[in-house]
């Protein structure tokens, strides 16, 4: 693993919370992700399964976790199955976990090789009455490629058609959306690395550089701090900032343009998500500054409004109402535009057409029931924006926050965002 070792209490605590959610006579199974192919004999780096990592800290392919709290044999109540290391694997693929190493990482005492899985799994299936199978149930997922968990579920139901099956995601998602203190510390490290990358870019950006050169500065800072990109970064200059998921990152940054940076570091599989918009020439124009400060006011007010008990849809509507007023002051909307629309389709959507934020954690768009009210220890992004294609620029700002009973905590309060601070850092 690239990151520093994590106290296994984090993963032990996650498993204990899940066990308490399972009804009697239950068996839960979580698989590692597949190693995905590219072309010819190539493959992509393994993307750890977030649920498996949450419960075990294991990032190795083909791993399987079994949880059966009521198993007759105490040694069968919590088992981690791994690929067995061999001389051939060591030569071709490198180090694989020993049983002792896996125990040190996960806190699981019963670690077995995959060759033992079929027999133990059949014993547990014959003992238990309810089976909890995992799947990707994110509302925005577009599932075309069959996952390892999906294949396992199909084969399991073929072999044991008379069991009662349940969706493990319905139990895991409410647990994962509430971050433990240890998880928040890992998120803070991702945020800090992201801040370091942003400060590096502020010193680098000037007219004539390319978007990919700015991306390279971020990559340098992230990699040297044991992190990677949380997602494909958006480095969008000028009118490119009006493309919400711009990924080309290949244009020249020109004098007078703004440069939108939507980027986050991933440390120990926990993700940060930052957006800043900066002037390529080191100074905002009067118009750019006016739009920027309008977005900043909405972001700050929306951070303050992320309180326990609030529904995500109401939070968004509050931000849209604020944005209506800002757009009115900027001359982008008229009062008649606002009156003609309603709260379900506000006038502000012409210039602020996306959501306000999302849960953040082991996934950038993290799991959780966003139909439920905000609760303590939810981590959210807050990301309003104004996009003006006819003027050739867009502004988006984004911070990550923790919802608490005493009000939201801004994890990115030390990351430069004020106009004066950004201009000062760029012109030193």
Tokens 């493959």, located at residue: 43
Read off φ and ψ for residue 323, nearest 5 degrees. Answer: -65, -35
Q: What's the confidence (pLDDT) of residue 154? A: 97
Total Cβ atoms within 10 A of residue 294: 22
Classified as helix, coil or strand, 252 is: strand
- Find, among 291, 234, 292, the residue nearest to 421 by Cα: 292
Beta-ladder partners of 402: 379, 409
Q: Residue 76 gets which letter from DSSP?
A: G
Q: Please, is 68 exposed, middle or buried when counting C-beta atoms within 10 Å of its C-beta (0-12, 13-18, 19+)?
A: buried
User: How far is it, in rounded angstroms, from Cα 344 to Cα 342?
Assistant: 5
Q: Phi-psi bin for 407: left (phi > 0), alpha (psi -120 to 50), beta?
A: left
Hey, how many other C-beta atoms are within 10 angstroms of the C-beta on 220?
A: 13
User: Could you report the per-residue pLDDT of 21-70, keeping only the tens digit for each?
Assistant: 999 999 999 999 999 999 999 999 999 999 999 999 999 999 999 999 99
Helix (H, G, I), strand (E, B) or coil at 240: helix
Q: Is 107 exposed, middle or buried (0-12, 13-18, 19+ CB in 10 A)?
A: buried
Please calculate the CA angle 12-14-20 and round it to the nearest 5 degrees. 100
Do 138 and 365 touch, CB atoms closer than 8 A? Answer: yes
Average pLDDT across each block of 10 residues of the chain; the chain has 428 residues. List them in order.
Answer: 94 98 98 96 96 98 98 98 96 96 98 98 97 93 90 97 97 98 98 98 98 98 98 98 97 98 98 98 98 98 98 97 98 95 91 97 94 97 98 98 98 98 96
Phi, psi at 43, each rounded to 5°: -150, 155
Give the model's pLDDT for residue 177. 98
Distance, CA of 30 to CA of 41 (rounded, Å): 27
Dist CA 361 CA 368 (whole Å): 10
Query: Cα(first)–Cα(last) distance of the chain, in Å?
Result: 38
pLDDT value, residue 142: 85
What's the pLDDT at 295?
98
Question: CB-hemisphere CA count at 13 Å for 403?
Answer: 27
Residue keyed to tokens 């294949």: 151
**What domains are defined for the chain?**
9-176 (3.40.350.10), 181-427 (3.90.230.10)
The pLDDT of residue 1:
77
Instruction: Taking the CA atoms of 65, 140, 338 and 341 in sequence, report the sign of the dihedral they define.
Output: negative
The reported pLDDT for the residue numbered 369 is 87
CA dihedral 248, 251, 253, 259 (to 10 degrees): -20
Q: How remote is the C-alpha of 274 from its chain's centroid?
A: 11
Task: Work out the number of other CB atoms within 10 angstroms of the CB of residue 309.
Answer: 10
Tokens 């303590």, residue located: 376
Please, where are the H alpha helices in 95-240? 99-106, 117-127, 148-159, 169-176, 181-204, 211-224
Tokens describing residue 152? 């396992």
CB-neighbour burial class of residue 276 (10 A; exposed 0-12, middle 13-18, buried 19+): buried
Q: Which pLDDT value is given to residue 141?
A: 87
Element (H, E) at 337: helix 335-340
Give the integer Cα–Cα distance in Å for 136 and 169: 8
Going by the DSSP 8-state scheme, the letter that residue 73 receives in this structure is: S
């Amino acid at each position: 693993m690239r990151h520093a070792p994590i106290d296994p209490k984090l993963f032990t605590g996650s498993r204990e919370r899940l066990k308490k959610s399972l009804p009697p006579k239950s068996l839960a199974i979580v698989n590692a992700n597949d190693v995905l192919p590219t072309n010819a004999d190539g493959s992509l780096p393994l993307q750890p399964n977030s649920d498996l990592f949450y419960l075990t800290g294991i990032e190795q392919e083909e791993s399987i976790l079994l949880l059966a709290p009521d198993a007759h044999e105490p040694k069968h109540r919590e088992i981690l199955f791994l690929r067995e290391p061999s001389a051939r694997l060591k030569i071709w693929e490198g180090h694989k976990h020993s049983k002792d190493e896996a125990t040190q990482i996960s806190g699981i005492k019963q670690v077995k090789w995959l060759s033992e899985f079929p027999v133990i799994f059949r014993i547990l299936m014959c003992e238990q009455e309810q089976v909890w199978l995992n799947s990707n149930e994110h509302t925005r997922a577009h599932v075309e490629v069959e996952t390892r968990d999906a294949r396992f579920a199909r084969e399991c139901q073929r072999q044991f058609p008379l069991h009662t099956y349940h969706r493990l995601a319905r139990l895991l998602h409410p647990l994962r959306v509430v971050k433990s203190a240890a998880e928040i510390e890992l998120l803070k490290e991702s945020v800090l690395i992201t801040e370091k990358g942003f400060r590096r870019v502020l010193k680098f950006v000037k007219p004539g550089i390319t978007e990919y050169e700015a991306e390279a500065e971020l990559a340098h800072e992230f990699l040297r701090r044991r992190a990677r990109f949380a997602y494909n970064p958006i480095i969008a200059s000028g009118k490119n900032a009006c493309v919400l998921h711009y990924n080309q990152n290949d244009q020249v940054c020109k004098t007078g343009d703004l440069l939108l940076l939507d980027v986050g570091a991933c440390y120990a599989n926990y993700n940060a998500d930052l957006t800043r918009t900066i002037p390529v020439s080191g100074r905002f124009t009067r118009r750019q500054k006016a739009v920027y400060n309008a977005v900043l006011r909405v972001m700050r007010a929306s951070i303050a409004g992320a309180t326990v008990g609030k529904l995500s849809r109401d939070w968004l509507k509050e931000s849209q109402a604020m944005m209506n007023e800002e757009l009115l002051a900027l001359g982008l909307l008229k009062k008649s535009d606002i009156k003609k629309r309603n709260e379900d389709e506000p006038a502000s959507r012409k210039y602020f057409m996306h959501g306000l934020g999302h849960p953040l954690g082991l996934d950038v768009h993290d799991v959780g029931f966003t139909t439920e009210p905000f609760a303590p220890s939810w981590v959210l992004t807050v990301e309003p924006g104004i996009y003006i294609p006819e003027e050739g620029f867009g502004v988006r700002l984004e911070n990550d926050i923790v919802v608490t009973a005493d009000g939201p905590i801004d994890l990115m309060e030390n990351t430069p965002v004020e106009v004066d601070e950004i201009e000062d850092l760029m012109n030193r």
